[in-house]
């Protein structure tokens, strides 16, 4: 009896998109943005239950999640040794044994995200790999430093070699509906970033309402954000599906009106492979396959990779391995 040939997993192709140049602040557009909370929550609750991905399809989606991951360490006790180990994991996030069983070559993560002091270490360890180094900036996580200091922090990080800057907005501008101040702030940050891409962290858990989240998302994109990001990971409430739905729909509207594709990054609290699949489903259904690549979608994660490895090993062997076998270092 002939054996069925092994089916090779294929990953989604990568694309190159024009960078968002920003547009003039449109207060009429901002004022027109509303958010139906009950409808948003109903739609968000249906995402995980409506789409079930199994077997080799699940494995392919999980591998794509790895490629879209910002491998992150943002702890007060970070050391150069920890960052070096993180970079080693970023270069080889999935074990060779698993990749061989899936008939795949090596893959890498989307980026490594660190504090400013660790940029040079990360850049040195990732040289020649094509993996960008992202740095949190602008008084992360509160964002309450004086504006000149926040701008200078961005410039220092860019000069140290960071090619992506994760900035935090001033939440007070959103809570007081001071959209001009928020627009000017993000525009100044974008200018300081230069060629480095800017990811704007909204800290959605501190913005009060979904309408505020939607309006803040639109203002940041008008000011030239390359990505909009949910959270610092330090708030009591981080990435949630209702918030993510609001933000990706803001991205869709901005793309329809301007032609620019803005990236999305949920961060904080995403630690299980099944959560990654849910977020990938959300992006596929709301924005389409073009957003399912590291240019336009990232996970902010520190523990997600270990669970994805466990799920891939289960796909191959039928058994779950212990968590300590997939330590981040």
Query: What is the spatial distance between Cα 229 and Cα 153, in angstroms, rounded to a whole number?
Result: 19
Please give the chain's pLDDT, 329 residues, in tens.
444 444 445 444 444 578 999 999 999 999 999 999 999 999 999 987 776 788 889 999 999 999 999 999 999 999 999 999 999 999 999 999 999 999 998 899 999 999 999 999 999 999 999 999 999 999 999 999 999 999 999 999 999 999 999 999 999 999 999 999 999 999 999 999 999 999 999 999 999 999 999 999 999 999 999 999 999 988 888 999 999 999 999 999 999 999 999 999 999 889 999 999 999 999 999 999 999 999 999 998 878 999 999 999 988 887 767 665 665 55
State the pLDDT at residue 17. Answer: 79
Count of CB atoms situated within 10 Å of the CB of 249: 18
- The answer to whether residue 242 sits within a structural domain is yes
Q: Is residue 13 part of a domain?
A: no
Question: How many domains in the chain?
Answer: 1
**252 lies in some domain:** yes
Which is catalytic among the residues 67, 125, 199, 265?
Answer: 265
- Per the structure, the complete domain to which residue 243 belongs is given by 27-326
- 35 domain-assigned: yes
Q: Rounded to the nearest 5°, which phi and psi values hold at 207?
A: -95, -5
Residue 198 phi, psi dihedral angles, 5° rounding: -110, 125
Q: What is the CA radius of gyration of the chain?
A: 20
Catalytic residue among 166, 226, 275, 307: 166
Catalytic entry in 229, 261, 275, 307? 229
Residue 233 sits in a domain whose CATH number is 3.20.20.70
In-domain check, residue 118: yes
Q: Is 229 a catalytic residue?
A: yes
pTM of the full structure: 0.91
234 as an active site residue: the answer is no
Q: What is the phi-psi region of residue 131: left when phi exceeds 0, alpha when psi lies from -120 to 50, beta otherwise?
A: beta
Q: What stretch of H or E contains 58?
A: helix 55-67
Residue 223 maps to a domain: yes
- Residue 265 designated active-site: yes
Sequence-separated (6 or more) residues with CB below 8 Å from residue 210:
35, 37, 40, 242, 243, 246
Residue matched to tokens 């991951």: 69
**Is the residue at 6 inside a domain?**
no
Cis peptide before 69 (omega within 30 of 0): no
């Amino acid at each position: 009896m002939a054996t069925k040939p092994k089916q090779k997993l294929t990953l989604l192709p990568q694309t190159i998109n024009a960078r968002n140049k920003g547009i003039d602040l449109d207060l009429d557009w901002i004022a027109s943005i509303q958010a139906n909370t009950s409808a948003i929550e109903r739609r968000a609750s249906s995402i995980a239950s409506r789409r079930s991905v199994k077997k080799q399809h699940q494995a392919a989606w999980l591998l794509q999640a790895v490629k879209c991951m910002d491998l992150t360490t943002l702890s007060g006790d970070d050391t150069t040794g920890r960052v070096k180990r993180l970079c080693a994991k970023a270069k080889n996030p999935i074990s060779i044994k698993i990749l061989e069983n899936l008939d795949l070559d090596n893959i890498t993560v989307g980026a490594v995200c660190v504090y400013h002091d660790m940029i040079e270490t990360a850049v040195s360890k990732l040289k020649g790999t094509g993996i960008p180094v992202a740095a949190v900036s602008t008084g992360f996580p509160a964002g309450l430093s004086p504006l000149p200091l926040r701008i200078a922090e961005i410039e220092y990080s860019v000069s140290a070699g960071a090619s992506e800057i994760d900035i935090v907005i001033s939440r007070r501008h959103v809570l007081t509906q001071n959209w001009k101040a928020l627009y000017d702030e993000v525009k100044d940050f974008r200018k300081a970033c230069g060629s480095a891409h800017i990811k704007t962290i909204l800290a959605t858990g501190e913005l009060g309402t979904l309408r505020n989240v939607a309006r803040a998302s639109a203002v940041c994109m008008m000011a030239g954000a390359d990505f909009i990001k949910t959270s610092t990971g330090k708030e009591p409430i981080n990435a949630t599906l209702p918030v993510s739905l609001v933000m990706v729909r803001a991205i869709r509207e901005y793309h329809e009106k301007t032609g620019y594709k803005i990236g999305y990054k949920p961060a904080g609290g995403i630690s299980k492979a099944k959560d990654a699949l849910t977020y990938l489903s959300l992006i596929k259904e709301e924005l389409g396959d073009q957003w399912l690549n590291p240019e336009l979608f990232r996970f902010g994660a520190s523990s997600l990779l270990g669970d994805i490895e466990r799920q891939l090993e289960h796909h191959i062997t039928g058994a779950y391995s212990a968590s300590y076998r997939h330590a981040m270092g």
